[in-house]
Amino acid sequence: MRALQRLILPIAALALVAAAMVDGVRTFPYLLRVDFYHMWGVPLAHDTLAANPYAKVKEYGDFLNDVTAHSASPMLKRANNARRVIEPTGTPFYYAVFSVLPPDFDAAAAVFGIAQYAALFVALVLLARLNGGGAWLGIALAAVIALEFNPFAQDVKYGNVNAFQLLAIAVLMTLSAGRARLSSFAFGDTFPALLAALAMFKPNTLWIVAVLAAHYVIVTGARWVPRALIAGAGISIACAAIGAFYFDGPHAWIDWLRYTQGMNGGRLLYSVGEGNHSIVKFLAEASPRLGVLAAGGLLTALLIAAFAFALVKGAGAESPKRRALALFGDPQFAASCGVVMMLATSPLIWPHYHVLALVPIAWLLAGHGGRFGIACGALACAALASPVIGLLVADHFALVRLMTLFCWVPLAAGVCAATLTARASATPG
């Protein structure tokens, strides 16, 4: 009987993987790939135009429009039709990384899509193992997410990089969780170096990077800080140099900063009506006198106050400071806090950014925060899995939008519940 029970999960996991593969192959020809169009197109145009895309937006767009006009790819034509004028918001390092893609759009999109699925599956296996599960459980969960989790569906549809960011965060947490068994180089140097690369690749993860950096300092002690700063600074300089070398000069970074801040036609803060699911932007539009900065600052202060209240309220005889240090000594708690802060306070949140919510969701569903934490994780997951929810509220678009805007609230509540119930003596770290 036990042998049969051990076979059930692998068989179910393989069946789900097969279903996810069939679904992926079936939907691939119809994907929009608007974001991937930039990853593929900017390096392709640069090979001919040489200048960086932030200073030559029109020229890059015209070149890609011409390439598309002479292409027989329906997928490329679909993406180009949605982006006749390109919006190159990625960093120079970001586009340099994707210069290795094949010049054929369909082949490059296929390679990229396979990599997205691979990143999701590896990340979920790591998350499952971190939370006491096995590899087969992680594979089964990844297949379910590939089939039913709307943020991942959006990530694949538009061709973005959130699955890769999820994998990087899972690797960072795994490095930290196994630090006692790792050499000083594997954890002491690799961890801050990977953090720096994550930030330089796409800065939307800055909250996560900052909180994991604090976690690193807590678990290693002050004596490791100089070495970590050298490793982090070295990788940051290397990433900056790669981007600058690729675009023929450091001015590419200056042009990128100007473009993303609104100069040269750039638009960093898309409106809620354009698909921005940021609660900060939503509040700023609802109350223009408040503004984006004030709305972000207000939500940041509220979240910090809620965490501090939970820390003090649940302390009992233990020192709140000792409990805080122990909590942030747990890489999953630290990463979960970073994800919640990003989703709650960033002025730009696309639906596919919520792929990163799988970090706190997995952690809460594993039992951290008690039954209330499990309920919060399940609620957040249900709110995000809108292919299912959408069937129930298909005629209530505003309700679906509100669920997505506020899906970080149960995650924040779950993290606070974990803070209330944790004890310094029992917290990993």
d(CA 227, CA 405): 40
Q: Quick one: tokens of 52?
A: 């960086």
pLDDT tens per residue, range 262-290: 643 445 568 888 888 899 999 999 888 88
What pLDDT is recorded for position 264?
Answer: 37
Helices (H), ranges, 314-355: 320-328, 331-345
What pLDDT is recorded for position 238?
Answer: 97
Q: Which residues of the chain have pLDDT under 50?
A: 263-266, 390, 393, 429
d(CA 84, CA 260): 19
If one counts every other C-beta atom within 10 angstroms of the C-beta of residue 122, the result is 18
What pLDDT is recorded for position 317?
Answer: 63
d(CA 173, CA 360): 12
If one counts every other C-beta atom within 10 angstroms of the C-beta of residue 106, the result is 17
Nearest by Cα to 35 from 83, 81, 72: 83
Amino acid at site 266: G
If one counts every other C-beta atom within 10 angstroms of the C-beta of residue 312, the result is 13
DSSP conformational letter for 355: G
Q: Is 4 exposed, middle or buried (0-12, 13-18, 19+ CB in 10 A)?
A: exposed
d(CA 161, CA 38): 12
